[in-house]
């Protein structure tokens, strides 16, 4: 199994460096018969793209997807779907000065230690540019899940530095550059980010992603659990330092009577579990949250060493996001969708398709 691939039956292999000629992925295991065209990738790639607002990196990529294989006359054939995205806005000279430096908090250092060599241009393979290919693959998974099982995957920014949402409205999420669920706070966020950018510093964020319509039974115990694979998939996103399912770390202080989700004939009364018990979906909304660290590439000088171990002061002048979390929502959605599609295929392999087992108990009463 390639370490640049994930998924057991729906396997996505990604490749490419930030400033290489191209990035891309191979999506293998997609069932035949799904209609897909190059244009369908545009929306989610733009949601992830840097061009969405002044609060993200100034790099401007066309992010045009070329479908190289696996689709015939607009329909998937069951063979591997290769997606290619050319890099068009590399400015490798921006990085010349850091080729021999280790930015504090950056994968520069660990790649160098592991491989003894690294592509310093824009972070090379460790750049978040790689996540573009995840989002592209996720478009396929989202469409298949929606068409085949009526499953939808959506997310939002659930914290930006110290700021938390004061309200929640799905309609607001796509109407601002932060995926923020409360329109009244957007001005506050803009101001916060403007000040942050001017200061030269960066900040962390939290993203929550949910799947509605997931039938009970998806997830393979013990080491292919739905929550275990979500954790791996979400933790693999650049800058993520924590993953929660349902109530997450809040469960530490909860009592059992408080946490357990009671059930009646009409369904569950609550969803502290985040839709997963014993690694298997319950039929409720699947809920996961991630913590993203502040960007380590800063204009503010930081103490470090160079490749010879000599002390230096690092200042990063390239194009960087002051808060990588702002663009993480579509990436997290893609990862959840890919995990769910993989688990859906695995479930029907071992247990037959949804609907073969009864009784089925409806989802959460209140949500």
185-204: contacts with a second copy (CB under 8 A):
201-204
Which residues within the stretch 311-330 sit at the binding site for a second copy (CB under 8 A)?
Answer: 311, 322, 325
Q: What residues are paired with 157 via a beta bridge? A: 207
Smallest distance from a second copy to CB 107, Å: 2
DSSP assignment letter at 242: E
Among the listed ranges 36-44, 137-145, 169-177, 212-220, the one in contact with a second copy (CB under 8 A) is: 212-220
Closer by beta carbon to a second copy, 210 or else 298: 298
Among the listed ranges 28-36, 49-57, 137-145, 179-187, the one in contact with a second copy (CB under 8 A) is: 28-36
d(CA 178, CA 189): 8
Tell me the number of residues near a second copy by CB under 8 A: 161
Measured in degrees and rounded to the nearest 5, phi and psi for residue 164 equal -120, 155
Smallest distance from a second copy to CB 336, Å: 14
Q: Look up residue 177 and give its two tokens.
A: 């550059």
The contacts of residue 311 (CB under 8 Å, 6+ apart) are 303, 304, 305
Q: Which sign, positive or negative, has the C-alpha torsion 107, 108, 110, 111?
A: positive
> 22-28 and 11-16 as β-strands: parallel, antiparallel, unpaired?
antiparallel
d(CA 217, CA 224): 13
d(CA 180, CA 199): 23
Closer by beta carbon to a second copy, 171 or else 355: 355
Closer by beta carbon to a second copy, 187 or else 250: 250
> 205-212 and 152-160 as β-strands: parallel, antiparallel, unpaired?
antiparallel
Smallest distance from a second copy to CB 59, Å: 18
Smallest distance from a second copy to CB 263, Å: 5
d(CA 159, CA 216): 30
Smallest distance from a second copy to CB 146, Å: 18
Smallest distance from a second copy to CB 300, Å: 6
74, HSE (Cβ side, Cα atoms, 13 Å): 4
From candidates 74, 167, 278, 367, binder to a second copy by CB under 8 A: 278
Please count the other Cβ atoms lying within 10 Å of the Cβ belonging to residue 180: 26
Q: Any contact of residue 106 with a second copy (CB under 8 A)?
A: yes
Say if residue 199 carries a ligand binding annotation.
no
d(CA 137, CA 134): 5
Which residues within the stretch 151-180 sit at the binding site for a second copy (CB under 8 A)?
Answer: 159, 161-162
Closer by beta carbon to a second copy, 51 or else 224: 224
Which residues within the stretch 225-254 sit at the binding site for a second copy (CB under 8 A)?
Answer: 225, 227-236, 238, 240-254
Say if residue 239 carries a ligand binding annotation.
yes
Site string for a second copy, 325-364 (x = CB under 8 A): x-------------------xxxxxxxxx--xxxxxx---
Closer by beta carbon to a second copy, 43 or else 87: 87
Please count the other Cβ atoms lying within 10 Å of the Cβ belonging to residue 74: 11
Among the listed ranges 52-60, 115-123, 166-174, 183-191, the one in contact with a second copy (CB under 8 A) is: 115-123
């Amino acid at each position: 199994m390639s370490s640049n691939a994930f998924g057991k039956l729906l396997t996505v292999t990604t490749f490419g460096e930030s400033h290489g000629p191209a990035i891309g992925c191979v999506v293998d295991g997609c069932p035949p018969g799904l209609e897909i065209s190059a244009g369908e990738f545009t929306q989610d790639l733009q949601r992830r793209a840097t061009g969405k607002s002044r609060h993200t990196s100034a790099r401007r990529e066309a992010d045009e997807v070329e479908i190289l294989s696996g689709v015939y006359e607009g329909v998937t054939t069951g063979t591997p779907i290769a997606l290619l995205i050319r890099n068009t806005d590399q400015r490798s000279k921006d990085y010349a000065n850091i080729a021999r430096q280790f930015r504090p908090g950056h994968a520069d250092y660990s790649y160098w230690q592991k491989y003894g060599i690294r592509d310093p241009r824009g972070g090379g393979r460790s750049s978040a540019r790689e996540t573009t290919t995840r989002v592209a693959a996720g478009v396929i998974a989202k469409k298949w899940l929606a068409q085949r099982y009526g499953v939808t995957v959506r997310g939002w920014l659930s914290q930006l530095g110290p700021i938390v949402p004061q309200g929640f409205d799905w309609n607001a999420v796509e109407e601002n550059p932060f995926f923020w669920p409360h329109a009244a706070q957007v001005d506050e966020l803009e101001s916060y980010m403007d000040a942050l950018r001017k200061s030269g510093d960066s900040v962390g964020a939290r993203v929550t992603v949910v799947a509605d319509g997931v039938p009970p039974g998806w997830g393979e115990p013990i080491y292919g659990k739905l929550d275990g694979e979500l954790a791996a998939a979400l933790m693999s996103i650049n800058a993520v330092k924590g993953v929660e399912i349902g109530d997450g770390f809040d469960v530490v202080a909860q009592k059992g009577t408080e946490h357990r989700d009671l059930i009646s004939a009409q369904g569950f009364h609550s969803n502290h579990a985040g839709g997963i018990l014993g690694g298997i979906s319950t039929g409720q909304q699947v809920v996961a949250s991630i913590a993203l660290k502040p960007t380590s590439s800063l204009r503010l000088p930081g103490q470090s060493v160079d490749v010879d171990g000599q002390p230096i002061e690092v200042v990063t002048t390239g194009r960087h996001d002051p808060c990588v979390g702002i663009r993480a929502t579509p990436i997290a959605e893609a990862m959840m969708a890919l995990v769910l599609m993989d688990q859906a295929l695995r479930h029907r392999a071992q247990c037959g398709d949804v609907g073969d087992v009864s009784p089925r108990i409806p989802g959460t009463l209140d949500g």
